[in-house]
Amino acid sequence: MTITVEKELEASQLLEQLLLLSAGLAHFRPKDEILAVYPCVAQFHSSYRRLDQQFREGHRIHISRVDRLRGLLSTYRPVDLVLATAHHGHFVAFFSACARAEIPMAACYRSASQSYLAALRQSGVALVDLDAMRSVSHIFDTFDELRAKGHYLALMIDAPFASRRRYQFLGYSITASSMPALYARRCGALLLPLIGHVVSEERLGYAVGSPVADVGTECTQNLLRFLEEIILEQPEQYAWKANSMVLSDASARENAFSFALDALRWRESMNHRI
């Protein structure tokens, strides 16, 4: 059959997701169980695209148990708390939905989609362009200002920033951003793990961990363990990308390549069903 340019792009993205998901699960599930997750990945991509269209068109996306989340956050002043989140579910829509639900949010970015940035600003999310910052000190001072103005700052556990230390994650030795822990330690704030997920094309959910008061040397490792639990429960919803921190371990790349033939065959079988 003939595939349009748009479908070729989607097929390429799907193949990337399948290969990296396979590598991510390689230490936890046998091969047949990993292959059994592939249909879930395709199904999620379909739901994600519909939700993404709703979000970009300005439709309101709801969060399940949002009153509970708002009540939890209201027990802390924004100056006393930093949210630790991840590239899971539709995290952009999650930030926006929080802001629309009267949870003032702030987030930082690098090289983000202009349509996403516009949608976030329209919903009231305060944004920090890290590429426009002169130094780490400038970044942290800007974070301080936003929290002082009443915004709950969300920082990515799995941001693709360089790190001099390696951590254990999904059975690999990877480099990961320590920004959430470093910043929380600097300002004396608690860290609250909070990761969103997609429930349907118009509804989001979330998982929340216990507040971390002791932001010591093991803090980043503990945040990665929380994220690992989320991923193993919903691997199809994680944003497996080429710049994923998982691939900072060479053996992860080898595991991804070992699934290439299986993933290609499965993707081709899906194409013939379209």
Query: Over the stretch 152-173, which tens digit does the pLDDT of each residue have?
Result: 999 999 987 667 789 999 999 9
Reported confidence tier of residue 7, pLDDT bands at 50, 70, 90: very low
- Identify which has the larger pLDDT, 193 or 115: 193
To the nearest 10°, the Cα dihedral for 261, 264, 265, 271? Answer: 180
Reported confidence tier of residue 274, pLDDT bands at 50, 70, 90: very low
Q: Which two tokens stand for residue 227?
A: 């994220």
Query: Over the stretch 51-67, which tens digit does the pLDDT of each residue have?
Result: 999 998 888 899 999 99
- For 188, counting Cβ atoms within 10 Å of its Cβ (0-12 exposed, 13-18 middle, 19+ buried), the class is exposed
Report how far residue 180's alpha carbon sits from residue 171's, in angstroms, rounded to the nearest whole number.
22
